[in-house]
Structure 1
Amino acid sequence: MTKIIQQSAQLPALSADEDIAGQLRAFVQDREAFSPNTWRQLLSVMRICHQWATENDRRFLPMAPEDLRDYLTFLQANGRASSTIATHASLISMLHRNAGLLPPNTSPAVFRAMKKINRMAVVSGERTGQAVPFCLSDLKALDVRWQNSAQLKEMRNLAFLHVAYSTLLRVSELARLRVSDITRAEDGRIILDVAWTKTIVQTGGLIKALSTLSSQRLTEWIQLAGLAAEPDAFLFCPVHRTNKALITTHRPLSTPALEDIFIQAWREAGQSRPKGNKNRYRGWSGHSARVGAAQDMAKQGYAVAQIMQEGTWKKPETLMRYIRNVDAHTGAMIDLMEKKSGQR
């Protein structure tokens, strides 16, 4: 392993030849080709896998198919979800490809191992986790409670929730929004110029328009926080305990800080605690607005293609996981049988 990989992943040196070392150096130099989250996940998987390989006297790079099969089985035995195990397999394959090596995932042994892991997970009752939806009705209820709040933090939180629901942006994408990204339509409504998203990385960016009410709430926050004259400032910034905004231009609010807005909203709404899913999702979280908005659109009969466009989803199956319960009673057989019943 190259020196820079060692520093990034905090792994000891590996006995790789110079060609592999050169490929890895180039890989690290081009790490901006990947999202920060993907890179963090890769380094985390490298640390976990390398530790397992060291403790079990296996080789980490290149990794033999039999070793990868045993590693994936080890993850399952230690309670990792099948989706997490699939991510480990995918990132190990990614590392091998970028090192100029044949990924061990191509082996039938690894394919069978993953098939077994997935089957055992489904049979044992594992289900894909889903954030508790934050719907339009929830937004309206919070709007009534917070719209005239004397607490600047609550005004910020309300504006943030309006933007999160209206745009279906991910938390990290919301964090990057700046005051300069705002323009106005002729009727005064706000238009947001989103530079890039997880799935859309192009110079044209993405344009998101806010409703009249959401534009009003965001405008109120900007005025109260003193952001109007700060075009380079992040749109959502910290609020000091003295009830003053701490305008920032270099570092956006962290993901935990933004997710805390959903937690505070959950408490304010006095929601009952839902049944936990995979020890998670016991209240609103960073993904809740995307899920709620998608479900609301599906309930109103918007086409899958329209919802995908709003949420910048590239694969229909990703969206269908969010709206599967909404569409449960609109299937072809339900339609057929209820029409037949009506004829009788």
Structure 2
Amino acid sequence: MGEIIANGMVSALTADEDIAARLKEFVQDKDAFSSNTWRQLLSVMRVCYRWARENARTFLPMTDADLRDYLNFLQLTGRASSTIATHASLISMLHRNAGLTPPNTSPIVFRTIKKINRVAVVGGERTGQAIPFRLADLMKLDSLWFNSSLLREKRNLAFLHVAYNTLLRVSELSRLRVRDVTFADDGRIILDVAWTKTIVQTGGLIKALSNLSTQRLMEWIAAAGLAAEPDAFLFCPVHRSNKAVMIAERPLSTPSFETIFAHAWRTSGHSKSAKLNKNRYGGWSGHSARVGAAQDMAKQGYAVAQIMQEGTWKKPETLMRYIRNVDAHQGAMVDLMEKKP
């Protein structure tokens, strides 16, 4: 479906046969990019093309003045500065793959993005962050669900253990299959993760589980009858008859995993947050275990490099957004001011 939409938009975007040919090649090679990147690109193409058509502008190639006006339009309609930066980046990506000079290289666009960021920061915009799902939260749910007769709760508990233990993204967890489970000499589970958002290589990634997480995952596999189904998704659907749906064509969707976190939030006794973070985070969400595990590691004194390795982050600044508040009170100046003479 995405390819049909993209090919249809290619025909509408340009009358230049050379540019159209390069764009069609780009669509044919879409597997070079993650599905999330491709979805975002199609979304940006639709929004920007509509804006250009309604305002009598040229979308491809786009002039620096038109891109400036488009980015200002996004700000005026309430988009976050991070969203605007994503639009600018993907428009640049589209131009490069069409063999065109991206308008983003112009000083006009550089100043516009700088102004948008400055106005956003001065106006009080802050980066949103998922509510952390910490080790204490996992242990509380473990005490509530470990002996449950409901297969769905056994799956949910195993999923939360693996999500926290591995720091994997929801999309990466959803792809795990029973055949990806092996065992270390001491009996603990080793997960063979084929690839992640930041690690795409034939060697893949290996993730080890703790003793308790191993136990909970094995309890789920046994209760669901998954051991004899190596091709089944590790976290498969559970039918209302309390039986696992082992043969599924595709993994559970992101909203389904979000529902697991939402159910865990309610089970833990939390109510809906009165003040939403960025209008999104009123409870635990798909990123919460990743954020919480990173914060717990930082609080226990693990080095940034170790946390980055566990979470497969490539840039320290990405991780620092998650752990920025954890040890703020232990900064050098606080230490200096509070030392006894």
TM-score of the superposed pair, with normalisation by structure 1: 0.96
Q: Which runs of 4+ in 1 moved over 2 A?
A: 4-12, 272-275
Q: Which residue of 2 aligns with 1:7?
A: 5
What's the % identity of the aligned pairs? 76
Q: Go from structure 1 to structure 2 and tell me whether the alpha carbon gap of 1:207 and 1:15 turns closer, same or farther (over 3 Å shift).
A: closer
Aligned partners of 1:9 and 1:43 also within 8 Å: no
For 1:118-129, what aligned pairs fall within 5 Å after superposition?
118-129=117-128
1:259-290 alpha-carbon deviations (Å, 9 max, x no partner) = 11000000000124443111011100000000
The within-5 A match list for 1:102-181 is 102-181=101-180
The answer (yes or no) to whether the contact 1:189–1:209 under 8 Å persists in 2 is yes
Aligned match of 2:284: 284
**Which whole-Å CA distance do the structure 2 matches of 1:44 and 1:95 have between them?**
12
Question: Which runs of 5 or more residues in structure 2 are unaligned?
Answer: none
Q: Is the 8 A contact 1:232 1:249 kept in 2?
A: no
| Aligned counterpart, 2:54 | 55
Out of 43-52 and 12-21, give the one that drifted further.
Answer: 12-21
Describe the superposition over 1:159-207 as per-residue Cα deviations: whole angstroms up to 9, x where unpaired. Answer: 0000000000000000000000010111211000000000000001000
RMSD of aligned C-alpha atoms? 1.3
> Partner of 1:87 in structure 2?
86
Q: How far, CA to CA, are the matches of 1:15 and 1:136 in structure 2?
A: 53
Taking a change above 3 Å as real, the CA distance of residues 6 and 176 of structure 1, as seen in their structure-2 partners, is closer
| Aligned residue-pair number | 338
Tell me, yes or no, if structure 1 residue 305 matches structure 2 residue 305. yes
Q: Which amino acid counterpart does residue 302 of structure 2 have in structure 1? A: Y
d(CA) in 2 for partners of 1:306 and 1:102?
A: 39
Report if the CA contact (8 A) 1:190-1:210 is conserved: yes
Counterpart amino acid of residue 167 in structure 2: L
How big is the shift at 1:28? Answer: 1.0
SS at the partner of 1:214?
A: helix
Query: Offset of 1:6 from its aligned partner?
Result: 6.9
TM-fit CA distance, 1:16 = 3.5
Paired residue type of 1:315? K
Cα deviation per residue 1:62-105 (whole Å; 9 max; x = unaligned)? 00000000000000000000000000000000000000000000
The CA deviation string for residues 234-258 of structure 1, in whole angstroms up to 9 with x for no partner, is 0001111111111135210011001
Distance 1:190 1:141 in 2: 22
For the residues of structure 2 that align with 1:257 and 1:245, how far apart are their CA atoms? 15
Distance 1:188 1:9 in 2: 50
Unaligned runs of 5+ in 1: none
Structure 2 distance, partners of 1:181, 1:136, is: 25
